[in-house]
Structure 1
Amino acid sequence: MTSSETLTGGVQPRPVVAGLPRYAAGKPPAAVDGMASYKLSSNENPLPPLPAVLEAIAHQTDFNRYPDPLSSRLRAELSGFLGVPAEDIVTGAGSLGALNQLLATFAGRNDDGTPDEVVYAWRSFEAYPISVGLSGAESVRVPVTADGRHDLRAMAAAVTARTKMVLLCTPNNPTGPVLGTAETEDFIRRVPPHVVVVIDEAYQEFVRAEDVVDGIAMYRKYPNVVVLRTFSKAHGLAGLRVGYSVSNAALTQHLRVAATPFAVSQIAEKAAIVSLQNYPQVVERVQSLVDERERVTAGLRSLGWAVPDAQGNFVWLDLGDHSAGFAELAGAQALSVRAFPGEGVRVSIGEVDANTRFLQLCANYTNAPRGS
């Protein structure tokens, strides 16, 4: 036995665990003398929650009690906000928690041992292969196009008799582009109606592109469509873990069985409700970040850099083998960015000074992204 096996008595994880990638959360920035440090590695909102939210939760004390397992008050608020029945909303610990509930319900390993298939674009959200693998299902990754977009025709062709779910990430994390309405509807029609089509809209509030697909409109039109959204990004509540799915009642009746009890705490539910009640202020804050995103992308393109259409709160640099080296240079400038070695670098839109320093770094960098 190895020393590790000796310490654990030889206990081993399920075989699937050994083959899964590790989720690499964005690292905090290193301290550099004389420089303010900025974290641009996790797509976080650099602004704190709204003052009304902070005030509402400042004196909450009922943590000796379990939260409402159905998040009834939040679902009622979302029902009015989205114009959908509260019964069609299932909350979870962030949109990832909501996704894990979907996978637990609709995709996994069958009684005969065969795995279901889940189709998604790649590169996309790095938690997808982990969550799919842990569910017992098998990932089918379809490469994104050269400009970072979903190849919907190839994804439709990848659907087989074993496919139980398709994940559409729009805007796509980490590359940035969105899906259009017509191409998404065409895709949904190509997919068998028993396949669950998940439209992951974690960054929906940041989108300014025209004719972008509206997941809620698709859910209303197609009974196999599920929408994922979150309070982590636009609302600045990443640390409180509040997300949700919206789906037809025929799906939610099964989804509630697999939903994690008490996933959304009392303080998280109240914060989300108050943030929704003050949504015009959320919109103002999001617009300030969109303005910064436009400044950053314009600055990069003025340097001659090719940057995919950025519709989230981040930009993608297709740096290939130079990705890790670029991240090291950013670290020396007290900026943490998210490198995907051999592929590219995702840089979140942060504080104005952070974004300016990032542009200065790029102006002095000699290995421009591929496609420039």
Structure 2
Amino acid sequence: MTVKAQVEAVYRSESRRILATLIRLLGDFDLAEEALHEAFFVAVERWQQDGVPDNPRAWLVSTGRFKAIDRLRRQARFTPLLQEQAEALEAVEWSDEDVEDDRLRLIFTCCHPALAADAQVPLTLREICDLTTEEIARAFLATPATIAQRIVRAKGKIREAKIPYQVPSLAELPERLDSVLRVIYLVFNEGYSASMGADLTREELTREAIRLGRLLLELLPEPEVMGLLALMLLHESRRPARTSPAGELVLLAEQDRALWGAALIAEGCALVEQALATRRFGPYCLQAAIAAVHAEATTAADTDWVQIVGLYDVLQRLVPSPVIELNRAVALAMRDGPLAGLQQVEGILARGELLDYHLAHSARGEFCRQLGRMKEARQAYEKALGLTQQAPEKRFIERRLAELSG
């Protein structure tokens, strides 16, 4: 492997951890991002001469930190206060042993209540997981320009309000938890079902979300943290079976369950039981319970759809949502037949909800197909095809359309 390839590999695996540490050390998002890129630029040249260091992450953090201090000293000729900032940063001592929780610290900073709610998650997804503004915009059904503006404003607020880069005290944690859970779950979802691109999944994101979930559970062993971690583990257990060897989408009912991860299922189900036993569970616990029912069925035909519909009923009462209603409609169709599911989906769309959500139109197309209403099925699948930007899903819908035309 060439040195350049090694640098690129380190960037893919370590850059967000390095950035989180630089933000902690430098106290400024933009300065840390500039330092990160300068450090990797220097690494390409220096590592060719000196070889790859034993601890590339520590080397890159140190190099980025000194590059940032040098930058401030150069600019201090025009802004004297920057000289004081440079001296203060130079006096800060750091150890590579401190960096493991830096991304968790950064999540809580990005989810600080002083920040606008609609900026907390985009900022964290951008800074922690390196999602592009386009990917985040897809998750929020917003424009990239809108997301970019939210991120810029949030960074400015953190700088101006001197929001601390730290994990909150135990007394403050519960009120900050909902936003953090939402962030971690959005990271997982982007990895489990990528919003766009050539691949259905992005394993590095699901792995990162699960790691963050484990860290959070160590910090705060609350039922909803258990529920979220369980939900991610149970979904992740299916990932190897969700695509064919050629990268094509495989529906849940058609997946080879022998490929499902038994260890992940066992851990996830144990967490679900532990969380439900507290009787203080919320939406993540309920979603995890639904995933556990799927995981415990040895075949698709053995799935307890009565229990799943009942769990969706409770979930919908707790957190009313058209997406939950859509998922319930799919479960209802499995319990009572495609007409029952179609009526629910058409009711959602008639209210003007989920009109731009491709999965709603895909579900409608599938129910119409099963009912023999082929013209309506084609129209629904064509609508779904125009809305999805993810290659395997596009190919799946195109195959469905070809079958309907055959």
Pairwise same-fold verdict (TM > 0.5): no
Q: Indicate the TM-score class for this superposition, using the shorter chain for normalisation.
A: under 0.3
TM-score normalised by L of structure 1: 0.24
TM-score normalised by L of structure 2: 0.23
Instruction: Mark the structure with the bigger radius of gyration.
Output: 2
The answer to which structure has the higher helix fraction is 2
Higher relative contact order (CA 8 A, sep 6+): 1
